[in-house]
Structure 1
Amino acid sequence: MVALHIRPARREDIDALVDLNRELLHFYGVKPPFPRLDMIRRLQAELLGPAPSVEVLVALAGDEMVGMVAFAEIYALAVCRRSLFIQDIFITKTARNIGVGRALMVELARVAEQRNAFQIDWTADLWNEEARRFYEALAPVLKAEKMFYRLAGTNLRLLLEGAKQGHTATG
């Protein structure tokens, strides 16, 4: 394999990033939520617009994009410190198990250090044993006492409808 280069995504990466994103969706058995051109426009706006909501580091082997890690910086209010959260990390099938994922994580650790972020958090699917083995080799602290929650789709709409009707959450 040619030398690997890790860097922040740029405008000229959007097409390849959409292809990698579609491969990620296929891996999870999810149909792309938007046509390809719409995905291109959305990624351009979210990555390169005036107020980016996500950052992406890409792994390039020569001119080929072989992996990416999408992350966001958050502020841990309780401890008054910055933190990074990985939304997605994905390596194309042809480039797995050759150090691409580790190289992306090392570069992300550099980003965390440069920004004085004290931790990097992420989630993993229980069924994805290959990913879990990779993550465990990085020696993170497994937060087994934590649960991951998500409000989406119908449940998100129900919460909003309840608020409009005057229902309030307790707690």
Structure 2
Amino acid sequence: MIRQATVTDVPEIRAMIRELAAYEKAAEQARATEEQLREALFGERPAASVLIAEDDGTGAVEGFALWFPRFSTWTGTRGMYLEDLYVRPHARGAGHGRALLAALAAICREEGFERFEWVVLGWNEPAIVFYRSLGAEFLDDWRVCRLDGDPLRDLAARAPEVVRPGP
């Protein structure tokens, strides 16, 4: 079963984020607290949405997908960016990942989103094979860029004042 997450799912979502980070060999980078996730997902201005995969028989949470809308200047349309897709190891191969992605694709169609995008680590061959089986296109000419920590702080320190419209 696939369902929308509720605020009571936050501890389980945080646990799965930490499991995903450990799988991706980056456990120390998963610093989000339950409070941060609660605000980001269910606060006044939600930053993202989450779908939960549950086992039909037991109701156990087996995976999740966290996504948010994006915008393409080239097409002039909104799209979906999948930040995290995770299925617990014991539940892999049972269709939870495919069901989560299918549910997200249905949201794309319902919302008129023309693109559904995500990234995958180059060493994660099981995920790459899975995504290829769904017909995903791999954009080898594009590279992910990131600023964080000191480089982000240093660039921000050189920012000009931004003029904002008044009330």
With the shorter chain as reference, the TM-score category is 0.7 to 0.9
Whether 2:137 is the aligned partner of 1:141: answer yes
Query: 1:67 touches 1:92 (CA, 8 Å); kept in 2?
Result: yes
SS at 1:118 equivalent: coil
Which of residues 119, 122, 144 in structure 2 aligns to 1:123?
Answer: 119
Which of residues 20, 23, 28 in structure 2 aligns to 1:31?
Answer: 28
Query: 1:17 touches 1:65 (CA, 8 Å); kept in 2?
Result: no
CA, structure 1 residues 32+64, in 2 after alignment: closer, same or farther (shift >3 Å)? farther
Query: 2:81 touches 2:116 (CA, 8 Å); kept in 1?
Result: yes
The TM-score normalised by the length of structure 2 is: 0.88
- How many residue pairs match? The answer is 157
SS at 2:93 equivalent: coil
- Structure 1 gaps, min length 5: 165-171
Query: 2:17 touches 2:30 (CA, 8 Å); kept in 1?
Result: no
- Structure 2 gaps, min length 5: 161-167
Amino acid at match of 1:109: A
Amino acid at match of 1:123: V
The TM-score normalised by the length of structure 1 is: 0.86
Quote the residue 2:41 is aligned against: 47
Q: CA RMSD in A?
A: 1.5
Runs of 4+ in 1 over 4 A off after TM superposition: none
Query: 2:65 touches 2:85 (CA, 8 Å); kept in 1?
Result: yes
| C-alpha deviation, 1:96, in angstroms | 0.8
* Matches of 1:89 and 1:33, distance apart in 2: 15
SS at 1:117 equivalent: coil
Q: Aligned residues: percent identity? A: 26
- Structure 1 range deviating more: 7-16 or 23-32: 23-32
SS at 2:52 equivalent: strand
Quote the residue 1:132 is aligned against: 128
For residues 59-116 of structure 1, give each alpha carbon's deviation from its aligned partner in whole angstroms, at most 9, with x where no partner exists: 0113211111111111212211110001111111111122111000000001101100
